[in-house]
Amino acid sequence: MAEQPILVAIDIGTTKVCVLIAEMGERGGVDVIGIGQAPSDGLRKGVVIDIDRTVQSVANAVEAAERLSGLKVRSAFVGISGSHILSQNSRGMVAVSGRAKDVDRDDTVRAIEAARAISIPNTREILHVIPRGYVVDGQNGVRDPIGMTAVRLEVETHIVTASSTSVQNLTKCVQRAGVEIDELVLAPLATAEAVLSEEDRELGVVLADIGGDTTDVAIFQDGSISHCATIPMGGRTITGDLGIVLRVTPDAAETVKFKYGNAAPLDVDPDEVLQVTSIGEETSHGVTRRHIAEIVESRVSEIFDFVGKEIEAAGAMNRLQAGLVLTGGGSLLSGIGRAARDQLGMSARIQSPSGLGGLTDQIATPRYAASSGLLLWGARNWPAEEDGSSARSLEGVTSRIGKIFKGLMP
């Protein structure tokens, strides 16, 4: 019996590193068999600021997942995000080369390469080139042009670039932890695999993954991504505000945020009083829960203000019928869905990851959306072997050729 292929996902966040190990079934299912998590304090705003600490966090999380699964991690799909990420749409055009003028795979690759030929600074590199749709002899809206007769083929792509130094530092951290990288994947793209349906993408949707220091935003229209950005604020920003105003430690502020905080102050009893002990004081003092909610609301409102600006930048106002999907640890804050609906004027829902099997009861929470999505991304882009089989063991060598061409295929 052939060994089942193994997938590994590493989500390196600003508050935690999460590692998932999964086994791919014969029918394409993905079953989680290992989970590892470790505190992370080597990143700020999605960028590595302390290599040694980040390496240790990754190594600790990998070791925990290995113990649970009984397998040794050799390579992984790794998420990347941060304010250094930029994206743009680009169009490429080629003449169909075959004698019969039938579009083949080579024509689509050449068109995508033409779209890829954009001018970027030498301090940046391309992470993804994602086909959004094709135009065949002036006919728009073609999803798969292969086999169609045409003279000219055009493709609309979404190109994601990143700071070369940020990519190199993240890569260095993972490799020093003893893990090779199958592919660096833009975190919100991976997250979308786990929390968005095809219908969401077709109708138009904005995804907001609220992490520790950042909020990743991705906008999908007509079935594909059209815009992505990273907002330099997240759940830890709210915690910091509570810590300053209440004069309590970060741990105490985090507890207050999730236990008593609410992003919709009108839903909170204005007469409910909590006892809080500030730093340096021996006795506690009373704080109304409504006041705590108002502190939370002010920062949440600022985050959604930035989300609204990204929607405007994408030209997607009033075009997102599926509304807003919230995920990530920050989406677990009480009242955040109502706050989003009131401020952005669209439907909003909190979404946990789906599409995986195995140990799903342990990861069925928005906190694991990005790492779950990385597994699904890896399964969808699994490189096929020459004999047509997609099997590859955890001990196998990373397919670099597959990695290069994943970003080029529609």
Q: Please answer whether residues 375 and 382 qualify as being in contact, where contact means their C-beta atoms are separated by less than 8 angstroms.
A: no
The band of 175, judged by pLDDT with boundaries at 50, 70 and 90, is: very high
pLDDT at 70 over 90: yes
To which H or E segment does residue 350 belong?
strand 348-350
In the prediction, which pLDDT does 400 show? 35
- Please report the sign of the dihedral spanned by the C-alpha atoms of residue 310, residue 312, residue 316, residue 320: positive
* Contact predicate 20/32, CB 8 Å: yes
Q: Please determine, for residue 56, whether its predicted confidence score (pLDDT) is greater than 80.
A: yes
In angstroms, rounded to a whole number, what is the distance separating the alpha carbons of residues 203 and 191?
18
* Whether pLDDT at 393 is above 60: no
Angstrom distance (rounded) from CA 151 to CA 357: 45
Phi, psi of 330 (to 5 degrees): -70, -20
**3-state secondary structure (DSSP) of residue 26:** coil
- DSSP SS3 for 310: helix
For the chain, domain boundaries: 86-161, 197-350
Helix (H, G, I), strand (E, B) or coil at 253: helix
Give dist(CA 116, CA 158) in Å, integer.
9
Confidence of residue 383 (pLDDT cuts 50, 70, 90): low
CA distance 136 to 154: 6
Range 125-141 average pLDDT: 92
Give the contacts of 203 (CB within 8 A, at least 6 positions apart): 320, 321, 322
Percent of the chain at pLDDT > 70 equals 92
Question: What 3-state DSSP class applies to 189?
Answer: helix
Res 309 pLDDT > 80: yes
Is the pLDDT at 351 greater than 80, yes or no? yes
Q: Are 381 and 24 in contact (CB under 8 A)?
A: no
Q: What is the 3-state secondary structure (H, E, C) of 192-238?
A: HHHHCCHHHHHHCEEEEEECCCCEEEEEEECCEEEEEEEECCCHHHH
Local confidence band at 3 (pLDDT 50, 70, 90 cut-offs)? low
Number of other CB atoms surrounding residue 365 within 10 Å: 15
pLDDT over 90 at 29, yes or no: no
SS3 299: helix
pLDDT confidence band for 189 (50 / 70 / 90): very high
407 pLDDT more than 90:
no
Class of domain 86-161: alpha beta
Residues across the chain: 410
Question: Could you say which of 3.50.50.60, 1.10.1740.10, 3.30.420.40, 3.30.479.10 is the CATH number of the domain covering 197-350?
Answer: 3.30.420.40
Supply the mean pLDDT for the chain.
Answer: 89
Give the mean pLDDT of 113-136.
93
Cα 303 to Cα 98, 285, 322: the distances in Å are 51, 30, 20
